Chain A
Amino acid sequence: MANNPAISTLQVGAAAGAPAPARGLETPLFGQKLRNPLILASGVLGTAKSLLQRVGENGAGAVTIKSISLAPRMGHPNPTVLSFGPGMINAVGYSNPGLMEACKEYGDLRGVPCPVIGSLIGQKAEEFAQIAAAFERLDFAALEIPVSCPHTPGFGKLARQDTPESVLQILKIVRSETLKPVFIKVPAAAQNLDELVAASEEGGASGITAVNTIGPGMLIDIECRRPYLGFGFGGVSGPALKPLAVYAVACIAARSRLPIIGTGGVMTGADAIEMIMAGATGVGLGTAVLDRGIEAFRLIAAEMAEWMAAHNVASLDEIRGAARMK
């Protein structure tokens, strides 16, 4: 799973400027046209503007910052991110510099050659509102609210933010602070997915990101008889998550007209096409960066274009939702 050495020898400066969009991959999202549907998922490489810029230069259609809370957070102790073969497991614990530092880091997004999505987290609805109000003044193309992290006490799943009532409460207060598109990031394998989507619609969400890592999950080292992760348990991502993500996207697409960012285990152009056929508009990439390097965006976009050319598909609109649940 190491980065392909032939690829990783590319220097940072070699990819200066945004790559030209492949025809047919243009994707309408956030009230604008992305050059392709591939979106850097939150929590991956989104720690600094300079890295977002580099991901954009490597072909992403849009990028998402690492989630920001009101106060700085140190996150969980290491190990926080591990590759175990069939996938990745992480318990980063929402480390982030807090709202004030984030507003400095992302106060000027010029130079990032694609739209940037602001991800925000909170423990109380008012915290979401405060961050949304500050983010409203920045050049984020959209906001994303994960209610689904499986490994951080006080947030997401562990704080039961993944209920329709909580989603509605968060959205109502966030909506009063921002006119930007707001996406709700839902958990994997949610029993209440229909209700979460209905609450998102009622609360004024502009779209759904499906799905977060699945979990909690745990791996134990049998020599020292302890869990590998510093926090003990975490969220699982990568290829094994893909069937769950594709199913969630297909279900949401059958019931809602909200645009969906299909995220979970997409590693190749074929995976991305599959996500679009399930009904996704955008396609999130996370673990693919671990497997294929920062070049994953360019590579997967090229693979998508190649598949489309071979199948006489001129635009992703032709296949979007082709296999969604009836």
Chain B
Amino acid sequence: MRNDLPRVLPIARREPHSANACSLRIGYECAFLPGQFVMVWLPGVDEKPFSVSAHGPDWIELTVKRLGPVSGQLIDLPEGGLVGVRGPYGRSFDLESECVIVGGGVGIAAVAPLIERFPHAPVLYGENSAPDFMLTQRFPHMRLFSIDGSRGERGFPTDPLPELLDRRKPKIVYACGPEVMLAKVARIAREAGVRSQISLERYMKCAMGVCGQCCMDGRRVCVDGPVFDGAALLEARDFGFRRLDKSGTWIPLGRR
């Protein structure tokens, strides 16, 4: 059995995107593949899964939005502040350069390594409103969508997807974001006859496939995912519909 205890390391660099979002670089050495995640421990507070938004041979970067107490405290940590890291965990994206990338909200962090790797691929990125956008300076070619129309085009990143797939005929669509959006991406891709790979989020405890807390229709999101084949997800009873919370109670997700 492997020693998989968190390694406690200082925040090496902090790049703020707004008062409520930043990217944090940590000197954590690991073999990382795009789409994998790490468990991040705030000693004395909690531990949560986070996507890795960029990586080098001896560092990883997390792009974090203030969504709850853990992400909030993580954002407020100064450079030099200590966090524990274990992982990376989970299955990665299959790398295919003829792709289209879709990100919704903080889901943009999970697909950011793909955007970096495939700079010519179209990226559709949606947020609620102008102040929510992240990484737009790093990836200025992203096509932006906001629900309130305050930045980029008014609407959702899935709006132009059918037309885009029809025109470019990519080999694959990658997506991460709110699950209702992901269900839409998977459906549009299936209708266009294009493969999709979708990264899911669930409440996690062990991240090693043993506790069952991240169950999604018989799959464990931590080791069987977080990246799944979109067509297979559309057949999964829980996808887009419900997730387990910390107690193990089903919470609805809103897919119709």
Contact = CB atoms under 8 A, between A and B. Distances in A.
Contact of B237 (A50, A97, A101, A221): A50
Interface in A32-63: 43-48, 50-51, 53-54
B250 interface: yes
Contact of A226 (B2, B44, B250): B44
B43 A226 contact: yes
Given A92-B211, A226-B44, A47 B244 contact: yes
18 contacts: A1-B1, A44-B211, A44-B212, A45-B211, A47-B215, A47-B248, A50-B218, A73-B247, A79-B41, A82-B4, A82-B6, A84-B3, A96-B248, A97-B249, A219-B5, A228-B41, A230-B47, A293-B209
A31 interface: no
Interface string A75-115: 10111111111111010100111100100010000000000
Interface of B: 1-6, 8, 39, 41, 43-48, 82, 84, 86, 205-206, 208-213, 215, 217-220, 223-224, 232, 237-238, 244, 246-250
Chain A: number of interface residues, binned into ranges? 35 or more
Interface stretch (A250-258, A284-292, A316-324): A284-292
A88 B205 CA distance: 13
B3 A44 contact: no
Contacts of B249: 72, 97-98, 101
Contact of A1 (B2, B205, B238, B244): B2
A6 to B, nearest CB: 14
B238 to A, nearest CB: 8
A274 B45 CA distance: 41
Contacts of B5: 82-84, 219, 221, 228
A74 interface: yes
Interface of A: 1-3, 8, 11-12, 43-48, 50-51, 53-54, 66, 72-75, 77-88, 90, 92, 95-98, 101, 105, 219, 221, 223-224, 226, 228, 230, 238-239, 286-287, 289-291, 293-294
A224 B43 contact: yes
B89 to A, nearest CB: 9
